[in-house]
């Protein structure tokens, strides 16, 4: 009887809160935002996928996919599992509203009863997100691999959903088991190493069945359903252990997630990344790895930038290395025929640039200090990009090594030479998009809030979408060079000469972005002066007409 009362009270409370939220919701505004997001991302993805006219892979490639595919695709499942247990060890994956933490979980209601619905919703939303991404990847894979497009779309959706649910299940179990952070890292590293051995040495990997499930678009094996059962079992065990959830972790994450949602609404990517680091409890080092000698003048900016970079923790350096490896792997896939992978490469390089541009972000976050320095803002911001750009050199070397390893059976020497020419300019072009994203969010005291509020909703919405997409598009443009090199190979021209020309073009793009950073404020002053002069002329003309009509 007591349990039934708890369920009824909890249900009434949630229904009342849902009713209040729906009453405050502007349905027209919500529908318009959904329309913009669907148009900008879903429509654009489908439109771009229509331009992918890559030919079907050869029989030899199909044989290699049968041989290496389960282990390679299984690596994605292992990474999802490793990320899940690390998230659980840091307090994830649940993040509920602060009111639930303060009033519901501190009440005499059973904790598993109170958390069952949020945990189920977390698994459901993760499955839906993975399904959408997997379906898009499967649709693109079906254009090159044996099997129908419908079969590959279904396979990709199932594989993507299973990876997302595996992440949530592993996080729930790790959190309930109170696994320390160091042990979660060790377990994840061991599983990743085991799966890596499965790729190289052809041993049985821990996630080969998950990887084999990703190949159902061209062949089906009933034993692969064990992977689905394991994924469901992880979630079920995690739901059963919800009573062991830490209230302190939920209280900390609830406040951070509320701020994260607000930052996403404002399209503030810098704040989003900062809050994600706080959620994962990723703290910078108290002391830099190497302390530079103090010097005066303009070298102070250089020293401060390097000290910011040298405080990066090991986890962030590893994440940046993974982004570089992933971007290089996508470039290799695009060169070998999967053209759409250059889009993924551009996105990964954009994230790598956002990580590296920490000194620039810190300067943007302190506008008062920046205004007090005896330098123009554009010049100061441009100087803060120098140290991060140079710091990307090791990651360019990692990308070149990745290309050499992946292309070792197809003329690794020539591929490594082309990669050595393109790696750094491509990474810099990707970072240029991150620079645009960071600088455009700098406080702008010259823009009138009234003028922004008078903008029509259609123009305001499209302006928001363009402000969000332009930086990513710039990063993607830097990855187009691989398609030019592939075209040179198909037409029998020099790949190295094409790579040099594309590298020069990418450097020019970076220089153009640097010029924009340097002159942005000057251009805005001139534009505002021009608009102000136009308003004055219009007001004078209207006043003259009024005087004429009165006479």
Give the whole-angstrom CA distance, residue 546 versus residue 197.
84
- pTM to 2 decimals? 0.80
Q: Are residues 479 and 496 in the same domain?
A: yes
Whole-number average pLDDT of the chain:
81
User: Residue 485's Cα: distance from chain center in Å?
Assistant: 27
How many other CB atoms are there within 10 angstroms of residue 63's CB atom? 10
Length of the chain, please?
551
What is the pLDDT at residue 453?
Answer: 43
Give the whole-angstrom CA distance, residue 142 versus residue 140.
5
Is residue 145 within 8 A of residue 214, CB to CB? The reply is: no
Q: Which two tokens stand for residue 100?
A: 């639930």
**Domain presence at residue 307:** no
Residues 6+ apart with CB under 8 A from 111: 105, 242, 243, 245
What is the pLDDT at residue 406?
Answer: 82
**Domain presence at residue 292:** no
Instruction: Tell me if residue 336 falls in helix, strand or coil.
Output: coil
What is the pLDDT at residue 110?
Answer: 79
Q: Are residues 129 and 15 in the same domain?
A: no
Q: Are residues 275 and 374 in the same domain?
A: no
Is residue 484 within 8 A of residue 422, CB to CB? The reply is: no
**Domain presence at residue 551:** no
Q: Are residues 119 and 245 in the same domain?
A: yes
Instruction: Tell me if residue 445 falls in helix, strand or coil.
Output: coil
Is residue 184 within 8 A of residue 101, CB to CB? The reply is: no
Give the whole-angstrom CA distance, residue 176 versus residue 192.
23
How many other CB atoms are there within 10 angstroms of residue 355's CB atom? 22
Is residue 265 within 8 A of residue 195, CB to CB? The reply is: no
Structural domain count, the chain:
3
What is the pLDDT at residue 148?
Answer: 84
What is the pLDDT at residue 540?
Answer: 77
Q: Are residues 461 and 327 in the same domain?
A: yes
What is the pLDDT at residue 448?
Answer: 43
Give the whole-angstrom CA distance, residue 421 versus residue 504.
10
Give the whole-angstrom CA distance, residue 384 versus residue 370.
12
Give the whole-angstrom CA distance, residue 329 versus residue 5.
56
Q: Are residues 460 and 371 in the same domain?
A: yes
Is residue 164 within 8 A of residue 129, CB to CB? The reply is: yes
Q: Are residues 3 and 88 in the same domain?
A: no
Instruction: Tell me if residue 55 falls in helix, strand or coil.
Output: coil
Give the whole-angstrom CA distance, residue 480 versus residue 483.
6
**Domain presence at residue 294:** no
Q: How would DSSP label each residue in 346-391?
A: HHHHHHHHHHHTHHHHHHHT-HHHHHHSSS-HHHHHHHTTHHHHHH
Could you state, in chain order, the average pLDDT of each consecutive group of 10 residues for the chain (551 residues)? 63 70 58 56 55 68 84 92 90 78 76 85 90 86 83 92 94 91 90 89 88 89 90 92 84 76 68 76 81 71 86 89 91 82 89 90 77 76 90 93 79 75 92 89 54 48 68 88 88 87 93 91 80 76 72 62
What is the pLDDT at residue 548?
Answer: 72
What is the pLDDT at residue 146?
Answer: 85
Report in angstroms the alpha-carbon separations of 342 from 140, 335, 348, 396, 479: 13, 9, 10, 17, 6
**Domain presence at residue 295:** no
- Per-residue pLDDT of 348-366, as tens digits, reads 999 999 999 988 888 887 7
Q: Are residues 14 and 163 in the same domain?
A: no
Give the whole-angstrom CA distance, residue 438 versus residue 459.
22
What is the pLDDT at residue 410?
Answer: 58
Alpha helices by DSSP H, listed for 94-246, are 98-99, 111-141, 149-176, 181-201, 208-213, 225-240
Q: Are residues 114 and 38 in the same domain?
A: no
**Domain presence at residue 301:** no
Give the HSE-up count for residue 492: Cα atoms under 13 Å, Cβ half-sphere.
0
Q: Are residues 381 and 521 in the same domain?
A: yes
DSSP state of 205: P
**Domain presence at residue 517:** yes
Q: How would DSSP label each residue in 249-303?
A: HHHHHHHHHHHHHHHHHTT-HHHHHHHHHHHTT----SS-SSPPPP--TTHHHHH
Domain ranges, residue 37: 1-51
Q: Which two tokens stand for residue 335?
A: 């060169």
**Domain presence at residue 358:** yes
- Per-residue pLDDT of 371-421, as tens digits, reads 666 677 888 888 889 999 999 999 999 999 988 888 776 555 677 888 889
């Amino acid at each position: 009887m007591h349990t039934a009362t708890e369920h009824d009270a909890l249900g009434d409370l949630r229904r009342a809160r849902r009713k209040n939220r729906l009453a405050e919701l502007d349905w027209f505004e919500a529908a318009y935002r959904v329309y913009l997001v669907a148009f900008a991302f879903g429509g654009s993805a489908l439109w771009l996928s229509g331009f992918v006219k890559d030919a079907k892979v050869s029989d030899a490639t199909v044989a290699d996919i049968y041989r290496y595919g389960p282990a390679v695709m299984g690596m994605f499942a292992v990474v999802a599992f490793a990320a899940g247990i690390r998230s659980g060890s840091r307090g994830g994956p649940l993040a509920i509203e602060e009111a639930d933490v303060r009033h519901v979980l501190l009440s005499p209601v059973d904790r598993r009863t109170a958390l069952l619905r949020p945990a189920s919703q977390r698994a459901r939303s993760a499955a839906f997100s993975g399904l959408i991404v997997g379906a898009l990847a499967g649709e693109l894979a079906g254009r090159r691999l044996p099997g129908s497009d419908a079969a590959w779309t279904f396979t990709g959706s199932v594989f993507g959903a299973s990876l997302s649910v595996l992440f949530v299940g592993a996080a729930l179990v790790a959190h309930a088991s109170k696994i320390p952070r160091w042990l979660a890292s060790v377990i994840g590293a061991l599983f990743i190493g085991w799966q890596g051995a499965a790729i190289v040495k052809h041993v049985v990997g821990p996630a080969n069945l998950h990887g084999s499930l990703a190949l159902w678009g061209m062949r089906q094996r009933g034993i692969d359903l064990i992977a689905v059962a394991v994924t469901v079992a992880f979630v079920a065990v995690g739901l059963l252990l919800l009573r062991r959830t830490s209230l302190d972790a939920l209280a900390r994450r609830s406040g951070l997630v509320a701020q994260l949602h607000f930052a996403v609404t404002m399209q503030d990517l810098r704040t989003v990344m900062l809050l994600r680091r706080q959620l994962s409890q990723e703290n910078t080092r108290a002391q830099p790895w190497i302390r530079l000698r103090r010097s005066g003048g303009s070298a102070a900016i250089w020293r401060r930038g390097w000290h910011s970079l040298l405080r990066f923790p090991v986890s962030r350096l590893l994440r940046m290395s993974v982004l570089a490896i992933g971007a290089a792997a996508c470039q290799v896939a695009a060169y070998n025929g999967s053209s759409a992978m250059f889009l993924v490469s551009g996105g990964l390089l954009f994230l790598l640039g956002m990580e590296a541009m920490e000194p620039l972000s810190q300067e943007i976050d302190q506008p008062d200090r920046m205004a007090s320095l005896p330098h123009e803002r554009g010049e100061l911001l441009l100087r803060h990009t120098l140290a991060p750009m140079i710091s990307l050199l090791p990651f360019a070397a990692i990308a070149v090594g990745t290309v050499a390893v992946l292309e070792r059976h197809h003329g690794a020497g020539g591929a490594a030479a082309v990669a050595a020419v393109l790696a750094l300019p491509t990474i810099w072009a990707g970072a240029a998009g991150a620079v645009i994203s960071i600088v455009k969010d700098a406080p702008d005291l010259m823009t009138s809030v009234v003028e922004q509020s008078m903008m029509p909703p259609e123009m305001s919405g499209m302006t928001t979408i363009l402000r969000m997409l332009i930086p990513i598009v710039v990063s993607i443009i830097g990855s187009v060079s691989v398609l030019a090199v592939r075209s040179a190979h198909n037409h029998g021209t020099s790949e190295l000469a094409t790579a040099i020309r594309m590298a020069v073009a990418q450097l020019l793009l970076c220089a153009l972005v640097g010029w924009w950073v340097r002159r942005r404020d000057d251009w805005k002053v001139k534009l505002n002066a021009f608009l102000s002069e136009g308003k004055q002329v219009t007001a004078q003309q209207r006043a003259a007409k009024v005087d004429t009509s009165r006479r």
